[in-house]
Amino acid sequence: MLTDNFKRKIDYLRVSVTDRCDLRCTYCMAEDVTFLPRQEVLSIEEIIKLIDIFNELGVKKFRLTGGEPLVRKNIITIIEHLSELKKQNRIHEHTLTTNGTNLSKYAKILKTNGVNRINVSLDSLDSEKYREITKHGDLKKVVNGIHTASEEGIKVKINTVLTQNFNEEEVFDIINWCKIHSFDISLIEIMPIGAIGEKRFNQYLSMKKFEKNLVSKLNLTPSNFRTNGPSRYFSDNKSNTKIGIISAISHNFCDTCNRVRLTCTGKLFMCLGQNDYVDLKYSLRNLGKIDIIKQIEYAMSIKPQKHNFEILENNFDGYIDRHMNETGG
């Protein structure tokens, strides 16, 4: 079992399988983003090798993310491998976070391979607004994908990033839509990760203020429900929908952190909100398993206690100098 210096057990790995994406969400990346050269990106076989090593070290939960995981060629090979590990009881769960653009195509094969729940990002149910926030997105395609996944028996959770002057009103309609379709939803506070060509301060909506309004307007009560993630959940008495709140800035949850993140270039980040990492690619390509294990164990010893996110009016680029699509959400 991997344990860090703060006695936190690390049993969860998020794997960013690509930095590429077919959308350009305005809070995630700049529209003219340059993606990594392909030779820098780990092959499918290299990702699988690292997954196996983490699994041997006690990691039992894996989430594929990106960039957009479903645009990575041969992504199914990784999902099939995780499915095999699950059949052998070597892992508890494998899931993914997706923008949903390719869900109609992949829902069936995901379900066949033991993916029982997924997170789908959706910030508006208005086609024009959806296109505005994603720059390229086709809402209809995504909504069809979500319904296909649900019909296949995959439990869907919607991820909605709260953005100032964009969806702070509409979020109530999105919650209502989730209730109608029995989807859970997590509302995410924007984090200052990477330069996006505009001030983070102008996008940021404090969850502290918003949460009060949400709880009283929908008559919500705190729920004991927990997943492996950082959401605090609420429910009403009228639906099965659980409403999660992920507020990294207003409500720090680092003391219960159980995860680390692997980028598609083999960098292991121990915290989404800090710059420390160990680079596993060299060992993967030139040394052996023992060296990789030593590096992972070292990584645990330098896992930061917490992030130091803050969004200041005069800080243009935010705090972290890499983008969310690189580290994986």
Smallest separation, CB 301 to ligand SAM (Å): 27
Closer CB to ligand SF4, residue 92 or residue 129? Answer: 129
Smallest separation, CB 55 to ligand SF4 (Å): 25
Residue of the chain from 10, 12, 62, 66 that contacts ligand SF4 (CB under 6 A): 66
Closer CB to ligand SF4, residue 4 or residue 189? Answer: 189
Q: Does 16 bind ligand SF4 (CB under 6 A)?
A: no
The tokens for 221 are 């009560």
2 binds, among ligand SF4, ligand SAM, none (CB under 5 to 8 A by kind): none
Could you tell me how many residues make up the chain?
A: 329
> DSSP string covering 149-218, please?
HHHTTPEEEEEEEE-TTTTTTTHHHHHHHHHHHT-EEEEEE---BS--SS-HHHH---HHHHHHHHHHHT
Contact mark string toward ligand SF4, 25..64, x via CB under 6 A: x--xx-----------------------------------
Residue of the chain from 16, 121, 235, 327 that contacts ligand SF4 (CB under 6 A): 121
Closer CB to ligand SF4, residue 66 or residue 114? Answer: 66
Compute, in degrees rounded to 10, the torsion defined by CA atoms 71, 279, 115, 174: -70
Interaction site with ligand SAM (CB under 6 A)? 21, 27-28, 65-66, 68, 97-99, 121, 159, 161, 188, 190-191, 193, 324-325, 329
Q: Does 21 bind ligand SF4 (CB under 6 A)?
A: yes
Closer CB to ligand SAM, residue 247 or residue 283? Answer: 247
| Beta strand segments in 190-310, E | 221-222, 232-235, 243-246, 259-262, 267-269, 277-279
Q: Tell me how far the alpha carbon of residue 28 is from its chain's centroid.
A: 12
Task: Tell me how far apart the alpha carbons of residues 201 and 190 are, in angstroms, rounded to a whole number.
Answer: 10
Task: Tell me how far apart the alpha carbons of residues 319 and 308 are, in angstroms, rounded to a whole number.
Answer: 8
Smallest separation, CB 33 to ligand SF4 (Å): 9
Q: Does 72 bind ligand SF4 (CB under 6 A)?
A: no
CA nearest to 105, candidates 64, 151, 155, 70: 70
Closer CB to ligand SAM, residue 29 or residue 50? Answer: 29
Residue 165 region, left (φ>0) first, then alpha (ψ -120 to 50), else beta?
Answer: left
Residue of the chain from 95, 99, 148, 163 that contacts ligand SF4 (CB under 6 A): 99
Q: Does 188 bind ligand SF4 (CB under 6 A)?
A: no
Residue of the chain from 67, 192, 244, 304 that contacts ligand SF4 (CB under 6 A): 67
- Do residues 130 and 94 make contact, with C-beta atoms less than 8 angstroms apart? no
Q: Does 68 bind ligand SF4 (CB under 6 A)?
A: yes
Residue of the chain from 24, 60, 86, 200 that contacts ligand SF4 (CB under 6 A): 24
Task: Tell me how far apart the alpha carbons of residues 292 and 260 are, in angstroms, rounded to a whole number.
Answer: 15
Closer CB to ligand SAM, residue 54 or residue 309? Answer: 309
Sheet holding 259-262, edge to edge: 221-222, 232-235, 243-246, 184-189, 155-162, 117-121, 93-98, 61-65, 12-16, 259-262, 267-269, 277-279
> Which residues lie near ligand SF4 (CB under 6 A)?
21, 23-25, 28-29, 66-68, 99, 121, 324-325
